[in-house]
Structure 1
Amino acid sequence: MNVRKPTAPSSTSRLTTPVLIVTMFVLALSACVLGLVVWKGYEARQNALAQSETEMRNLAHSLAEHASHTIQTIDVVMDDLVAFLRLPSHPSRQTLDARLREVADNLDQINELVVFDANGNIRYASLAMPPSINNADRSYFVHHRDSTDNSLQITGPMLSRHSGRPIIALTRRIENADGSFAGVVIATIESDYFTDFYKTLNLGPDGAITLAASDGRIMIRWPSAAEGKDLSNTVLLRELLPRGPQGYNVETSPFDGLVKYYAYERVQRYPLLVTVARTEASVLARWHEGIRSDALVASAMLACVVLLAAVLAGQLRNRQRFEAILRERDARHRLIDANIGDVVVLLDEHGVVNFMSESVEAVLGFTPDEMVGRVYADMLHPDDVAGVRAMGRRLVDAKDGLRAEFRMERADATIVWLEANFRYTRQNGKPGNHIVCTLRDVTRRKEMEDEVDALNSRLAELARTDGLTSLPNRRAHEDFIEDAFAAHAQLSVLMIDVDYFKGFNDGLGHQAGDQGLKLIGSLLAGAVAAIGGHAARYGGEEFAIVLPGADAEAAMQLAHLIRREIRQLGLANPASPAGYLTVSIGVATRTAETNDPATLVRDADTALYQAKRTGRNRSVAALVHVADAVPLAPRADAETAPSTPEATRVPNA
């Protein structure tokens, strides 16, 4: 008998399908990786610009306060001295000179403190050996002589006739009892006093600090001088300062022609202006480093994708080759003997086994004689009997037969999964009185399917879990808050950020940082476990908690509890003013005006920013003001940097 060999799949079909699948796989993953890198880069750039603006505004404010306090201290001394000199009697010159030297020695900013008479000659001085000079030609002396204005005048920069060094002169008019001109008192500040302070600040390459008069005249510019230049014709003096005393802008520097971001602030009480400028390259330096790192990571990921694709293509080709071989062998086996691969069973109309092929011994471990005469349903696993019986009731109407999967017990008491095809025998086109059934062992396939299902479940769980803290990740958090927002009219959100975490990492190492995040994650999970809340790692050192059904008071109580328990962890933080690891918490509660979960999260994030801005280590509530900025304990705020302008800290300055 001639048996026609089944047609094998062509080489073109074997190769084209795997190549197409792998190509689509590589393109999809590559697009995801590149899209993630671009999105992350854009977000990181915006964050870098926003952070730089905050830092530069804070620095400009601190420098304005520094200049104001420096001059105000001298102003108070000069005011007392002018009042004293109006008295009719004075101590000896030696006594007053000694007093002036004592004042100058106690105030670091004062270089020289001198009293000139109405002719411009030195009357009293803090100098050990006053020089024989006359300052009647100085512009400040002429101003005080010709004007009755008793206010403090700030002049400079100029060269001291005594030391020959650049100075800034602070002068006041001295009057006789009748109001006539009696001379000038002058206190000088060496320019180095400001530049020595400014040089401790790191503004990056081509960064600069400028102290100028309100008319644009430059008094101090660090790191390079600016002889012959002023700010009178710049956008700053012409447009920005008239709108407000402080701000932030970007424009081309009039000093070196570079495009720079700068913050400015007018000094309170005195006609001075402070600007802090940084180049765009300096502002975005850390962003560029992050982009390079992300590019390296993305390249590594793409290389892994390509390698995985190559392996997958090989596996797909092998699978197709094996499937073709199996199909060919299956066709041949069916032509030769249908019993070799499958178990053939013949049942009567009552489900009693009338015949079973020899291959049953390999599948179930029983001989055909042991199986004949038994009721088929009695050999099935109890959980599968109902399903097979239901299939049997439909079988008479199924011309092509029906398929079922069920379990049976082998001779060795193990369970085997079988795939069965049932069909009524046909006589003259009508169903006969017997059922033909072919059985195939699919235990291994079922095990593999179970393994795949378990793996898919595990992968789905990992995709929603943070690998470091084992908390739900941001994706899981967003899904939870969406569901909670739809289900609960009352809902609160806590945004939690670890204070000075970068300094904690830099000071103690990334392993300590990771351990700290793990401890905080465990603490947060425990804090919400009993109240139906949801704690998640939002990203980096930031965490989030969703409290369904919680009002603002309950949310703030939980915020205080969390900060207290984190304090009790006793984790030292050398970068924190408190000396230990603390967190800042922003709390937001759903109100009638809260339209969506994103608004609620944004309100909590805004409250968190307020907590960070006002000194960290505190809880701040948004919208509903329950206990705004409540400290951890009476001692906690004492260890937190005060938020007054005089003590504002400048991060990463």
Structure 2
Amino acid sequence: MRGSGLFERIRQEIGRRRRMSPRLLIFSSVITVLGFSAVCGSIMLEMRRNAQELARQTQENLASTISADINRTVELYDLSLRSAVNSLALPQLSQVDDTIRRLILFDHAATAQHFGAIQVFDAQGNLAIDSASRTPDKINRAAEPYFTVQRDQPDHGLYISGPMQHRGAYSIVLSRRVSGPDGQFLGIVAGSIRFSYFQELFSRLRLAPHDVIAVIVSDGSLIMRTPFSPELLGSNVMANIGMSNILSQRRGWFSGHGKLDKISRIYVWADSTRPLVVLVGKSWDDVFKMWREEAIRIGAILLGLAIIVAGFTVFFIREIDRRAAAERRLEELATTDALTGLTNRRKFDVTIDREWRRALRSQTPIALMIIDADHFKAFNDSYGHQAGDQVLVGIALCIGDSVQRAGDCAARFGGEEFAVLLPGMNATAALEMAETIRQKVELWSDGQAGVTVSVGVASMMPGPAQHWSVLFEAADKALYAAKDLGRNRSVVAANRSDLTLVA
């Protein structure tokens, strides 16, 4: 008997774990998908940072290359201007004729397709010497910034103008001051670099449609841009791009929007110490294009994986539920009497063991009725087994109609014997229920050749050293007492030695 209680506890534990398994499966599936998502998410974030860093390095290298080319050209042309300034300081220069003087001044002048002629202007801004002509034109540049800056700022050094029309072509003008021995202003030496130089330089680059390259003077003036936008040339872009930030750091980057197209870009500069600063911009859409495609591909794979996991989870949950339902059905079949639908003896033993221990813990009474059909063998011999089965079913219906509480357990022990377990019920209440069942069977059996039942009732408070078999033995003795007293009656066992009280 005790072994059956242990078996029931093990079975309940297994059943509890099986009931948890669908939730555990769902939890495991969710954790798996979230784990994969977290790993893929961290990888994608790292790939995004790498894409940004790669774009920054690439743009910085491009800016560095372009800046080196442009500023090397500017320095080369500036050497020609310096040579002319140094030659003008020679006292013997005024004593030679014009041809020799031009040879001295412009002997080291750089010549290239995109370089303009070098010109010397006197202190009043009049053109005095022109490397491209023996007879200089009568022009005055006293109002031009490249003249006034050199006149008003003795220590300015090389001046680079904004884009302007110079000698019939868009150019930038470079100028240097010519000073006397005592520092007085004697004029300037000026030359130009045509825009065709920048256009040819940029044409050799393979740029994306939204890439931008800008060449900026240190005061923030835009002198060249690709794609070419004439309306922006000469404008001050200091407020737009934060020129103060560029001048405060030799190299760096920032994120901003284009002034015309409003496209968000990463802007990179490589060397802000040069006379001309090169700023390279690349669209963020282009920077993250490959990353975005890879993210979509990985996201699609992850979504497919999640769908597959969800599909398998649903399938296994349904399979678990189906098996659980089948197991419950098998359990019902294993613990239910096939003829009467009442609990069978095996289930009853487990139930009474559990309720006995519960009554012992709570110190409440527990009652038991054993019911037996009177003269059932004779009835079976007279009317046949089929009629006998109908009688047993009728008795079971009368018992089930009377036992209504959730904790009560009605069982068929086998043959014509039944048992009813009544937790928490004293002897008086149990006897009343026994009489109710007996009277229902008697009333029903009027049409069944007068079949009746005898009932043995016992109720007791479990003791620490007692087993529930004591209760069973008392109820069984009360049943035999009912039989001895003439059947069709209920007898309650007042105590273990006195079993003769008849209701």
| TM-score of the superposed pair, with normalisation by structure 1 | 0.39
Return the structure number with greater relative CO, CA threshold 8 A, min gap 6: 2
- Which structure would you say has the larger Rg? 2
| TM-score of the superposed pair, with normalisation by structure 2 | 0.49
Structure showing the higher helix proportion among its residues: 2
